[in-house]
Structure formats: structure tokens, C-alpha cells
Copies of this chain bind each other. A is one copy, B any other.
């Protein structure tokens, strides 16, 4: 199994604090040592850093920890290989373009006998079940909506359907972002927290590190952090229910009227 970390904010925010605790699990406080990766949206662009070295000893991870890249949407992943060899092409997150935007995806879990029919519009480069699932999801999304990206509510309905369909093949904890929204699906384990005014002092559980968020934020900032296991030991994290698919936009959970519901 692997671990996932996501961040969705209303203002570009650096993820150094959370990434520091998270990357410690990549070989030091936990066994996820078969590579790691992190993708930052910056405007419409994406910076993707992937490495098949353990996150704790990777010079690229050191760069991330010392060089605060500010982003409104970040997805990170540390890998414990289950399917697919330890090779660069198997490191998450994966990136593809659809509708003239980048889509970033990372997955934790294991899919069994998952061999979706891929028509060639999006094909995996590596050998993981995860990249297969990502390509299938994009293919279905593209063929469902055609030439133009639909509104967020339709997109959320689609994500709810497709994640449930894929999750039927095994464990499908996943995060997906198009730079605007972050979609998170939980099969077994995922937590989130919304940090906003008044900002707390937070204390990492994996490292001796504390940050007073009130010193580095403005009262209008809103930051959602989504992660496999809570990163801090003095805040209250919300646990996802199995099968839950939640959409984060501008640092908050988006609530949609239920399909067909009106009052």
C-alpha cells in the first residue's frame, strides 16, 4: 500500500510543513520506500517531481522541503510497490492532458483483475493498475462529455460513478485534480482537515516540527489537506467513510444538491 497527500486552497500556499511530515513516512517512520512523487499546479501549469528513490533520502525531496513552491492544488504520493516494478514510469502522480488542462492523479490500493478496455486515447506508460485506472477514468470522462469540460456538478456526479465502478475491483483510495478541484475517493482510509481562521499551531506526528499557521496565513485563507493518515497530533481530522467521494474547491468541501433533488 501507499500513502497519499493532497492540498486544495483558495490562495497559493506552500506545502513544506505537510510534505516534511509526509515524506518522513517514505522510508523512515514507515515502509513506503519504493519511490515518491509530488505534483504542484501553478496557474494552468504543473510541476511534477517523481523519484524512485525513497523520499527520505531523495535529493529532489530535499529541494521540495527547502524551496517553498506555492500552489492551490497539490497531490503527493509515497509508494510501497504492490503491482508494477520500482521504476520511474510507475511513480505517482501521473499527469495527462484533457480539454486543454492537465489532470493529476495518484492512487493508493490494489485493483484485482482490472483490465478495462482502453481505446487508445489515454494509455498507460508504466505497468501499474493505478495508471490503468487513471487512463480508463479519463477515457470515460472524455467520451461522456465530448469536446467541452462540463460544470463542476456534472463532473462530480461522473467522478462519483466512475470511482465506485473502479473501486469494485479492489481498494481505490485516490486523488485527482484538474488545477481547480481536487476529487478524493476513499475505499479504506483517507482523512481531511480544513484549516481556516483562526489558524492553529500544528504539531507534526512524524517529526519534531511545529508551525503556527496564523503567522503564515491571512484571515481569508482556506486550506484543505487530505491525507491517508493524519499528519498532526493536536488537530481534529475528519475520516472519510468507505465509498465516499468528496470534491474540494478553494480549500473547502463542495456540497452538491443531490441528483434530481430540488426544493
Question: Quick one: closest B residue to A58, CB to CB?
Answer: B67
**In the complex, are the beta carbons of B50 and A89 less than 8 A apart?**
no
From residue A147, how far is it (CB to closest CB) to chain B in Å?
A: 5
**Chain A 120-144 interface 0/1 with B at a Cβ cutoff of 8 Å (1 = within):** 1111111000000000000000000
Name the segment of A72-80, A93-101, A168-176, A232-240 touching the other chain.
A93-101
Question: Quick one: closest B residue to A88, CB to CB?
Answer: B45
Given contacts A101-B125, A124-B100, contact A89 B59 (CB under 8 A): no
The complex places the Cα of A48 from the Cα of B88 at a distance, in Å, of 12
**In the complex, are the beta carbons of A89 and B125 less than 8 A apart?**
no
**In the complex, are the beta carbons of A45 and B126 less than 8 A apart?**
yes
**Chain A 29-65 interface 0/1 with B at a Cβ cutoff of 8 Å (1 = within):** 0000000000000111111111000000001100100
From residue A242, how far is it (CB to closest CB) to chain B in Å?
A: 32
**In the complex, are the beta carbons of B99 and A123 less than 8 A apart?**
yes
Which interface residue of A46, A66, A99 has the most chain B CB atoms within 10 A? Answer: A46
Say yes or no for A5: interface residue by CB 8 A criterion: no
Instruction: Note all chain B residues with C-beta closer than 8 A to A43.
Output: 87-89
**In the complex, are the beta carbons of B102 and A44 less than 8 A apart?**
no
**In the complex, are the beta carbons of A44 and B89 less than 8 A apart?**
yes
Say yes or no for A184: interface residue by CB 8 A criterion: no
From residue A149, how far is it (CB to closest CB) to chain B in Å?
A: 11
Question: Quick one: closest B residue to A87, CB to CB?
Answer: B43
Question: Quick one: closest B residue to A124, CB to CB?
Answer: B100
From residue A146, how far is it (CB to closest CB) to chain B in Å?
A: 8
Instruction: Note all chain B residues with C-beta closer than 8 A to A123.
Output: 97, 99-100
**In the complex, are the beta carbons of A88 and B42 less than 8 A apart?**
yes
Could you list some 13 contacts between A and B, CB below 8 A? A43-B87, A44-B125, A45-B50, A45-B88, A46-B88, A47-B49, A47-B88, A59-B66, A95-B95, A97-B122, A99-B120, A100-B123, A101-B125
